[in-house]
Amino acid sequence: MGALADLRARVAAALAPQDGDGWDVHDTAVDAIVPPAFMLLWSEPWLVPATHCSWTARLDVVAISNRFDVGSGVENLEALVEVGLKRLAAAGLPSVSAGFPGRWDHGGITYLAARLTLNHPVTL
């Protein structure tokens, strides 16, 4: 497995449901989502040079709480983001920034979601 696939696998494993957690984790884009869920997508820019032989890979963890309805689901999204941040830190993947909650369109459906962006060193 390459460095990029390994990073995605580590993130997916860190976020995997435990003890009856009620969400799915998709380690790549899928056409249909049943919220709550996490979906891993490469960010833009995907790779940023760090040194002459290493890179910083940018991976978005999209936390999806529910279909978009104004004022609904914010608490669920906050809880999903908090758990995601804690699990990523516990897995040694703490370099994460969180984007604001809002509309996220996927597969013709609008969801309430937020992006957690990991910046992680990789050697390719």
Tell me the pLDDT tens digit for each residue of 11-67.
Answer: 999 999 998 899 999 999 999 999 999 999 999 999 999 988 899 999 999 999 999
CATH number at residue 21: 3.30.2000
Number of domains into which the chain is organized? 1
pLDDT value at residue 111: 95
pLDDT value at residue 71: 62
Give the tens place of pLDDT for each residue, 54-91: 999 999 999 999 998 766 688 999 999 999 999 999 99
pLDDT value at residue 112: 95
Rounded-to-10 torsion of CA 81, 44, 108, 12: -40
pLDDT value at residue 69: 73
Backbone phi and psi for residue 84, each to the nearest 5 degrees, phi listed first: -60, -45
CA–CA gap between residue 65 and residue 22 (Å, rounded): 11
- Name the band, by pLDDT with cuts 50, 70 and 90, for residue 94: confident
- Containing domain of residue 115, as a range? 3-122
Confidence (pTM): 0.92
The answer on pLDDT for 105 being more than 90 is yes
